[in-house]
Every structure is written in structure tokens, then in C-alpha cells.
Amino acid sequence: MRVTPQGLWCEAGDFFIDPVRAVPHAVITHGHSDHARPDHGAVLGTPETLAIMTQRMGEGRAGRSQQALGYGEGVVRNGVAIRLVPAGHVLGSAQVVLDWQGSRIVISGDYKRRLDPTCTLFEPVECDVFVTEATFALPVFRHPPADVEVGRLLDSVRLFPDRAHLVGVYALGKCQRLIALLRQAGWDRPIWLHGGLLAMCELYARHGIDLGDLRPVPMPAKRGAGGLLAGEIVLAPTGAEATPWVRRLAEPVICAASGWMRVRQRAKSKGVELPLIVSDHADWEELLQTVEEVRAPEVWVTHGRDDALVHAMGLRGVKGRALHLLGRGEEDEALEAPAPSGEAPGAEEMAAPAGAEREMGAGGADA
């Protein structure tokens, strides 16, 4: 296993895991764009991940050939046994378990440990080397229960019935999880979606995840008119609140659902009125818990706050190594970046699903 400019490379098997550039053979952990890139030769992933890639990249760009591998199924390539195990991050997300000559390495991809009605729960696999993410690897990140955060959103909807609540989310994963959490909390009204979110929700529905009554945010009756969807919950890609699209909504309460909302300065700098701490990544306790459960003597950290995690593992007698993988941990940029489609003239039309998905969904990493 080697770190190369393209990403993590399994030398014996001659394939890459989540490479950042096009390669002949790639194993993909999940569909977020900082892990799944277009134009690889052969792509191996879960059926859900392959479907997500095809939808986002278009036919022909999500690998010239695709090989689907369900959770728990195995395949051998050049003597390396490959198995995919649930990572609990988003629909189809998987850890890659590699067995070769009696030793085992597990590449987690991005993961969380909490129950999520829209994807399969993380399974710890004992191994010799565990390759982990570290997005929220500081002891200040301990995510509160997601249902408490959703409760805060619903309280606010009740307190401000004359305003729309606009929640900024990532198109893949966070959007669907938040909808599912709202349904669990008893919110059975229609949930209104920005055009950039519709296609992925339909894909989830095709995979059997029921998200209830979802509707596209309508066009304003007249260009520039506002006042729509008072008392309703609207989801849009992060950044849409800064575009003219938002002006159609009734005095929206700008909310954002992200693990980064834990830190006030970050939430404030985004101009968020109601920060909701809902994350699809493991928090500090869960990272340490996972390292303990997989019982690996050596842990490699792909991206994020590797300094803190490596230090904390050292205190527990686990050898840590920071890989500094390129092209990861771009969550920061994803949050900063204003949505390009809002900026163009005629941006009022951006609710059209195809265009918006292309422009707003594709660049987003997740948090």
C-alpha cells in the first residue's frame, strides 16, 4: 500500500482507492466528489455508489467498466482479496477491506457511527492497519444527538410561522438524512427542495429509502416576487442562500446542517441564523472508539486533523501516521464557495433540476 499523487495505491493488487485523478483500476468508497472522480478505467464499488456516480457524472464517465460488489461480497484481484463493508456515511458508502498474505488493511473512507435511516450502520472490522479519516478529529467536536438538532429546527418553525426555513445541505447524504430525521420527528408536511437536490432524492427512493412527500420549490408568480413557503421547510445546496434564487422565499430563516456548525465563529462567518449540528462524520469520541474496536496496532490518517488524532492515539499506544492525501478535506472550501449557478444572469431559472445538479451538486464535498 503506497501513497502516490493519484492517491492510495495497492501495489500488489495494482488498483487505487478513491484516486483523485483518472486511473486504470479504482475502488471507490462512496459517491462524494472528493472520493469519486470521473473517467477511471475499471471502477469497483457498491451498486448504490456506482448508481450515484453514474447519475452525477453521466453515462460513460463513471468508469469505462463498472463492477458492483454488495456489502460482504468478495472479489480477488492479483491475489488481493477485496471486500466492501458498510461505513454508515451515505447511501452505499463502504469500507474497503483488503486481505493479502495473511495481513489485513481496512480503508474506512468517510464514516460515522450513529444510526442513519438512509444508510447501513458502520461495521468495525479487526485489522492490522486501519486507514481512517479525521475530519472532526479535535476534542471540541462531539456532535449532539441529531434528533435534538432537528427538534430545534421544528421549534423554530413553530416560533416563526410567517417565515420559510431554508436549510443548507449537501446534495448527497445530508439532504436525505435530514429529511428522514424530520420524518422520524413527525414532520409529515411536504418538504420543499431546490432543483439541485431532486435527482439524488429520487435515486434514494429508487433504492427503497422512503423520504415522504418531496416537492420542488415553485417559481415565483412573477420574476423577483417573494413570500413563498411561509411555515414550510425548504432544503437547498449550501450557498444557495447567497444567490437571487432565495428571494422567492418568505423572509427565510437561514439554517445549515453541518458538523462545522459546532464552532460559533464558523457558523457566524456563514451568516447562518440557525446552525444545526448534524454531521455524517465520526466525531472525536467515535474516532477513538473506532480505533479501539478495530484493534489495529497501526492507524493511518488520510485527511483532516491528523495532528490531534495521531497524538491521542499515541497516548493509547497506537502508532499513527498522517498520509496527507491530496484533494481531501475540502469541506472548508465547499462551505466557502458561493454557488456558481446563482451568479449567472438568468439565475432565476436555476431551479431546473439538471442544470442545478450539474452546477451545485457536483463540487460539494460533505461534512
Q: Which residues pair with 233 in a beta bridge?
A: 165
Options 45, 275, 304, 329; binder of another protein; rule CB under 8 A: 275
Radius of gyration of the chain (CA): 20
Quick one: 84 or 254, whose CB is closer to another protein? 254
Stretch that binds another protein, among 20-28, 111-119, 174-182, 260-268 (CB under 8 A): 260-268
CB of 205 to another protein, least distance (A): 30
**If binding is defined by CB under 8 A, does position 244 make contact with another protein?**
yes
Check residue 9 for interaction with another protein (CB under 8 A): no
Which of 247, 225, 223 has its CA nearest to residue 236?
A: 247
Does 203 bind another protein (CB under 8 A)? Our answer is no
Distance CA(91)–CA(162), nearest Å, equals: 34
Q: Which span sits near another protein by CB under 8 A: 97-105, 177-185, 240-248, 291-299?
A: 240-248
Cα 127 from Cα 105, distance rounded (Å): 6
Binding residues for another protein restricted to 92-151, rule: CB under 8 A: 138-142, 144
E strand intervals along 108-251? 129-134, 165-169, 191-193, 214-216, 233-237
d(C-alpha 300, C-alpha 319), whole Å: 8
273 binds another protein (CB under 8 A): yes
246 binds another protein (CB under 8 A): yes
Asked if 311 is part of the footprint of another protein (rule: CB under 8 A), the reply reads: yes
Q: Confirm if 68 and 43 have CB atoms less than 8 A apart.
A: no
Which of 219, 242, 322, 362 is the binder for another protein (CB under 8 A)? 242
Among 41, 58, 190, 271, the residue binding another protein under the rule CB under 8 A is 271
Question: Would you say 111 or 245 has its CB closer to another protein?
Answer: 245
Q: Give the pairing of strands 233-237 and 165-169.
A: parallel
Regarding 315 and contact with another protein (CB under 8 A), the answer is yes
Residue 23 half-sphere exposure toward CB, CA atoms < 13 A: 23
Question: According to the binding rule CB under 8 A, does residue 316 interact with another protein?
Answer: no
Q: What span, in angstroms and rounded, lies between the C-alpha atoms of 217 and 196?
A: 11
Nearer to another protein, 70 or 139 (CB): 139
- How is residue 88 annotated by DSSP? S
Do 21 and 29 meet the contact criterion of CB atoms below 8 Å apart? no
Residue 262 found at the interface with another protein (CB under 8 A): yes
Q: For residues 218 and 338, which CB has a smaller minimum distance to another protein in the complex?
A: 338
Q: Which of 59, 101, 221, 265 binds another protein (CB under 8 A)?
A: 265
Total chain residues near another protein (CB under 8 A): 43
3-state secondary structure of 302: strand
Q: How far is the CB of 242 from another protein (least distance, A)?
A: 6
Nearest-5° Cα angle at 59, 56 to 61: 75
Told to check if 247 binds another protein by CB under 8 A, we report yes
| Closest approach of another protein to the CB of residue 53, in Å | 31
- Pick one of 70, 336, 352, 354: the residue that binds another protein (CB under 8 A): 336
CA torsion 335-340-343-349 (nearest 10°) is -110
**Residue whose CB is less far from another protein, 17 or 335:** 335
In whole angstroms, give the CA distance from residue 271 to residue 119.
Answer: 31
Taking the mean position of all CA atoms in its chain, how far away is CA 309?
Answer: 21
CB 193 within 8 A of CB 214: yes
C-alpha cell at 121: 450502520
Residues of the shown chain interacting with another protein in the complex, contacts defined by CB under 8 A: 138-142, 144, 152, 156, 159-160, 224, 241-247, 251, 253-254, 262-265, 267-269, 271-275, 305, 307-308, 311-312, 315, 336, 338, 343, 345
